[in-house]
Amino acid sequence: MNETEMKARTKKFALRIIKLVLALPRNEPGKVIGNQLMKAGSSVGANYRAVCRAKSKADFIAKMGTVLEEADESAFWLEVLMESGLMKPARIQPLWKEADELCAIFSSSLNTAKANLH
């Protein structure tokens, strides 16, 4: 997957997160989890764009680490949602799968960059 495709994929992920959060119940747990998920899920794409502007290998590694953290945090909040009963797991599962796939991609990229640093 090239840079342009990944930018589009992470933006689509953010848009899907927004739609999911908008569908959450408007109770306290829905608001709190929704807020956390919105922050993490929307920052994946924003931080990936920063990766694309990295000024050095070390900068790339640092920025990619942030992207991986945000994708993993998104997966965590999606798991919490699935297990909380706030929403049917079947509605959340495809988005969790995307978060998990993004984590795998970013982790692989980070590991490759670290191996090539020396």
Domain ranges, residue 105: 3-115
The model's pTM is 0.96
User: Can you give the pLDDT at residue 53?
Assistant: 98
Number of structural domains, the chain? 1
Given a contact cutoff of 8 angstroms between Cβ atoms, the answer to whether 91 and 103 are in contact is: no
The 10 Å Cβ neighbour count of residue 13 is 22
The burial class, CB within 10 Å (0-12 / 13-18 / 19+), for 107 is middle
Q: Grade residue 118 by pLDDT with cuts at 50, 70 and 90.
A: confident
* Residue pLDDT, tens place only, 25-77: 999 999 999 999 999 999 999 999 999 999 999 999 999 999 999 999 999 99
Q: Grade residue 117 by pLDDT with cuts at 50, 70 and 90.
A: confident
User: Domain containing 101 — which CATH number?
Assistant: 1.20.1440.60
